[in-house]
Amino acid sequence: MISRTAVLALVVVFAGLRPVALAQQSPFRVLQPQSFAHYTALFVQQEKAATGQQATDPWPWIAANAPLFESSDKSFEEMYYFRWYAWQKHLVRGNSGYLVTEWLPRPALPDYGVLPDAAPFHLNEARWLRDAGIAQDYARYWTLPGSDPRKYSFPLADSVRNVALAQGSWQFARQLLPGLEANYRAWQVSNQDANGLYWQIDTRDAMEKSIGGDGYRTPLNTYQYADARAIADLATDAATKQEYTAKAEALLPRIERLWNPDAQFYEVVSPSADSGIRKQKKFIDPGTQLQFTGTRELIGYLPWLYLSPASSHAVAWQQLFDPKGFAGTYGPTTAERRSPRFRFASNDQCTWNGPSWPYATTQTLLALANLLNGPPQHSIDDARYYQLFAAYVRSQHLTLSSGAVVDWIDEDLDADTDEWIAKDMLLAKHSQVGRGNYYNHSGFTDPLLTGLIGLRPQADNTVVLHPLLPPRRWSYFAIDGVPYHGHLLTIFYDATGAQYHRGKGLTLLIDGRRAAHRPGLMPLTATLPEDGSLQR
């Protein structure tokens, strides 16, 4: 067991972490670190059984950096600590500071072969660590020469703004503005067509072998909208604010061209098959006949992650749990099942034609949380959000040849059988058997904290909670030691008052002091004290 004092002492020992304000106060007010140390001990054993590798127990690092989490649903609780167990394996120090990798073993490449496709997830997870420098270093890296943030579609400015929203670190974010603007303009030069939409190859969206294929796709178009809004928000001069606000507003009606009114869904729009240029030309002549691809794909939900579609468009979410749509026992499929090309034959282990990808599930969870935090609609509710998240938790396991089931995160999986597709194909080929182990290509803490628990980061000095956890699902939960705008938050819910002995309902502590309380799982708002102490 590790004591609270020992945890604080290990802040500097592990990974060269900066102590920030942990020396001033304990980060935990409700939960005790030693109550959860058994999880990483279990994961070390599981890793040895699954891979043959003997890992060092990372509990001291996790306890020193990540919020503690407890739930009456132990499957969520265990998965929370497993995801930090997997995530910390990818945290490395480069020449410019902290980096977050995607693959294990790490490629023998400059900067450990870091890639931008999953960087938004890496940064969203890192913003909830108590060492603010981890997220800031990695965000800064993507503005440095040679970092190649456009190797894949990547909402860089929006990701930086997300870090600032959690940390309250606006000075850090504004220092990166020249790089963020340069990145935005480079995308305009390379991928924006004369009609104002952005053309992208599906592989460069990190979604190869998709049914929709290349064309005007929701990822890059919504990313550019989000980046324009983020740059406008971060800019301090009126001219830049006006310029990028105008860019964002101009993209809105263009993105709406991707809405197929017949399918009631956002789809990929491409040149017609008889034009002779599909998948051959990046830029499309204005006179070329375009058409919807005729298949609903999970990326059709991305507009809700980055903008606010018309309320009538919420009907699209009915497809998420439709047996002919995206419904899956272990997560949503990436293409609708009714498509005649669903799971079309391919010898490529990375296909986005129907398998469930944790990458896409993370995006969908975040998008659905935004919808449920918006104006009222009648297409989908909090219970469905929980159902989606529970399937996500259920999917992250691996059955070993011994029959033992271990916690696991990999590439793509069969939404009906929970088999990891890429891993099985590679094992059959007797090649790259380690690829996909603890694959860092998705998120968990961020959608849990901002969705189910409902902490919605704000630009001002308020704390806003809007839990999406349906009543009576959990009898209690707590997340403790959450860094936010220079303060430490503790959020806990106790249906009966018997778990934490501080009364019934939802409670928010700020720096250990009770700041707000509701008798049930209801939204609440509080104001932060003026004297922030954790800001780096």
- Residue 347's pLDDT is 84
Query: Is residue 532 in some structural domain?
Result: no
Higher confidence at residue 532 or residue 96?
96
Query: Is residue 283 in some structural domain?
Result: yes
C-alpha 507: how far from chain center: 26
Query: Is residue 187 in some structural domain?
Result: yes
Q: What is the DSSP letter of 460?
A: S
Side chain identity, residue 365: L
In angstroms, the first-to-last Cα distance of the chain is 30
| Helix, strand, coil % in the chain, rounded to nearest 5 | 40, 15, 45
Whole domain around residue 93: which residue ranges?
Answer: 4-482
pLDDT in tens, 203-232: 999 999 999 999 999 999 999 999 999 999
How many helices (DSSP H) and strands (DSSP E) are in the chain? 16, 17
Token code pair at residue 71: 């739930």
> Can you tell me the distance from the alpha carbon of 77 to that of 66, in angstroms, rounded to the nearest whole number?
14
Query: Is residue 489 in some structural domain?
Result: no
Q: Is a pLDDT exceeding 80 seen at residue 353?
A: yes
- Residue 125's pLDDT is 98
Query: Is residue 413 in some structural domain?
Result: yes
Q: Is a pLDDT exceeding 50 seen at residue 279?
A: no
| Exposure letters 358-380 (e unless 16+ CB within 10 A, then b) | bbbbbbbbbbbbbbbeeeeeebb
- Residue 271's pLDDT is 73
**Type and span of the H or E element at 48:** helix 37-51
Query: Is residue 247 in some structural domain?
Result: yes
> Can you tell me the distance from the alpha carbon of 12 to that of 58, in angstroms, rounded to the nearest whole number?
14
Query: Is residue 252 in some structural domain?
Result: yes
Side chain identity, residue 260: N
40-44, 231-235, 278-282, 425-429: least confidently modelled range: 278-282
- Residue 155's pLDDT is 98
Per DSSP, what are the bridge partners of residue 505?
494
- Residue 426's pLDDT is 84
> Can you tell me the distance from the alpha carbon of 233 to that of 248, in angstroms, rounded to the nearest whole number?
11
Q: Is a pLDDT exceeding 50 seen at residue 13?
A: no
> Can you tell me the distance from the alpha carbon of 371 to that of 189, in angstroms, rounded to the nearest whole number?
32
How many structural domains comprise the chain?
1
> Can you tell me the distance from the alpha carbon of 482 to that of 455, in angstroms, rounded to the nearest whole number?
10
The arithmetic mean of pLDDT across residues 320-349, rounded, is 96
Q: Is a pLDDT exceeding 70 seen at residue 9?
A: no
- Residue 10's pLDDT is 39
pLDDT in tens, 428-437: 877 666 789 9
CA separation, residue 73 to residues 254, 365, 434, 441 (Å): 43, 19, 31, 25
Residue found by looking up tokens 């503790």 in the block: 490
pTM of the model: 0.93
Looking at residue 64, which CATH number applies to its domain? 1.50.10.10
Query: Is residue 414 in some structural domain?
Result: yes
**Type and span of the H or E element at 51:** helix 37-51
pLDDT in tens, 373-426: 999 999 999 999 999 999 999 999 999 999 999 999 999 999 999 999 998 888
- Residue 434's pLDDT is 74
- Residue 514's pLDDT is 97
Q: What percent of the chain has pLDDT over 90?
A: 85
Average pLDDT, the chain: 91
